Structure 1
Amino acid sequence: MNTKLKYRHELKFMINRHQYFVIRQKLKSIVEQDSHVGPTGEYHIRSLYFDDINNTALHEKLGGIRDRSKYRIRIYNNSDKLIHFEKKIKFNDFIAKLKEPLTRDMHDSIISGNYEVLNIPDRPLLQELYYEMRNNLLRPKVIVDYAREPYVCPRGNVRITFDKELRTGLNSTNIFDESLNSIPAIDDNLIILEVKFDEYIPEYIRVALQLEGLNQQSASKYVICRKYLKTNIWEDY
């Protein structure tokens, strides 16, 4: 465990639309919306996930390996004003995230196969990505696309998000394609509820979320979306 990282708890639940409306109504009177939301109370997230030649991130998740990591490029609202290359780390029941900003030119170079733009010694995450791409053939695998409705509470540093309309891009790694050919990855009635916190969840939030009545799930958007690729990655399972 890297003690220099900020590790947090993360709970995930798959809920239906009725549960969403009930929980959201209770939350709105006790927590604030994230300041980055637009007029609809949401923002759009599009991520391009990477995996190596052995599909290590995919198989470790499917195999129930507790300590694992995955890489992705993430943008918001289909804009190139903020582009991050991220590494999400899971250790036991904790998560942490490392990220580095990319310029649009750097992004385009990476997608075109020019990984030298990542060879920057004083930026460790980019250097790690450069190594993974050169030695383990880390490559773009799938686009994950959804709308996020986020709420925050400073007590316990709690962040609650409803991720809706999960879609995946078919056979494309162009996250800036406004006409991306995407399809629903889960039933439209389902929403992914995520709860992240540092040490504790205040009791009044726990009650509003109805956590005692929800079944915690390992809802990996990456794994859900990978099943739509033409290549049959499930043949060994």
Structure 2
Amino acid sequence: EDKHNGTIGYPVRSVYFDSYADADFYDKLHGLEYRKKVRLRTYSPDSPTVKLEIKRKVGDSQEKKSLIISKEDAKELINLNYHVLKKYESETASMFYNIMRFNGLRPVVHVEYRRKAFIHPMNNIRITLDSDIRSSETDFNMFNELPILVPVEDYYFALLEVKYNAFIFKWITDLIGFHDLTRLSYSKYMVSRGIFERYMA
């Protein structure tokens, strides 16, 4: 079990970015083979640092790269000041700067949920249960102690995700099969942009 779980899991907050043409949203909506998502992520509004992440997906293959930045620089990115990335002298920082600047990325949705995670050191197996998924498409202040967010799923709904490198233990697949669980494609980013999808897409 993840040491951060506590009794009810831990909060995960993200602010997702997209272009003014919402290219990443439409790439996912249309099921394109290559697609990406860029986000800021924190596990506490009081944390002095934030993760800037990009997830790229080509078919079933997925790659994620991260850059640790300061809380203040995360606020600057939300305010569209990409130049703060120039102070981080790394190839990853340069990549983020180029992607965010030349694609004109801006914040589009703030997502929060509660996670319980279970890990196994062999093959980097990680099982997560995400619940109480809420979002806002207008308030991107991920450092607010009590943000006003709207539920996007039933409160008792939980999303089970199993991640691993090359293979998964048979007892895990047997357990999933025993409970008659169905594999599905679910994007917290997409469901959290419900207002945009209903009225703008």
Tell me if both proteins adopt one fold, taking TM over 0.5 as the criterion: yes
What is the RMSD computed on CA atoms of the aligned residues?
A: 2.0
Q: 1:73 matched to which residue of 2?
A: 40
Residue identity opposite 1:222 in structure 2:
Y
Q: 2:65 matched to which residue of 1?
A: 98
Q: 1:36 matched to which residue of 2?
A: 4
| Identity in percent | 31
Residue identity opposite 1:168 in structure 2:
S
Q: 1:10 matched to which residue of 2?
A: none
Decide whether aligned partners of structure 1 residues 132 and 231 sit closer, same or farther in structure 2, where only a CA change above 3 A counts: farther
Structure 2 residue 186 is the aligned partner of structure 1 residue 226? no
Q: How does 1:57-68 map to 2 (within 5 A)?
A: 57-68=24-35
| CA-CA distance at 1:53 after TM superposition | 1.6
Given the alignment, which residue of 130, 140, 145 partners 1:163? Answer: 130
Larger CA deviation: 117-126 vs 107-116: 117-126
Segments of 5+ residues of structure 1 without an aligned counterpart are: 1-32
Q: How does 1:83-232 map to 2 (within 5 A)?
A: 83-120=50-87, 122-210=89-177, 213-229=180-196, 232=199
Q: Which has the higher contact order (CA 8 A, sep 6+)?
A: 1
Q: C-alpha distance in 2, partners of 1:230/1:171?
A: 14
User: In 2, are the aligned partners of 1:76 and 1:82 still within 8 Å (CA)?
Assistant: no
Segments of 5+ residues of structure 2 without an aligned counterpart are: none
Q: C-alpha distance in 2, partners of 1:210/1:94?
A: 24
Decide whether aligned partners of structure 1 residues 136 and 189 sit closer, same or farther in structure 2, where only a CA change above 3 A counts: same
Q: C-alpha distance in 1, partners of 2:63/2:46?
A: 25
**What is the aligned residue count?**
201
User: In 2, are the aligned partners of 1:156 and 1:202 still within 8 Å (CA)?
Assistant: no
| CA-CA distance at 1:211 after TM superposition | 7.2
TM-score under structure 1 normalisation?
Answer: 0.78
Residue identity opposite 2:153 in structure 1:
I
| CA-CA distance at 1:230 after TM superposition | 9.3
| CA-CA distance at 1:159 after TM superposition | 0.5
Residue identity opposite 2:92 in structure 1:
L
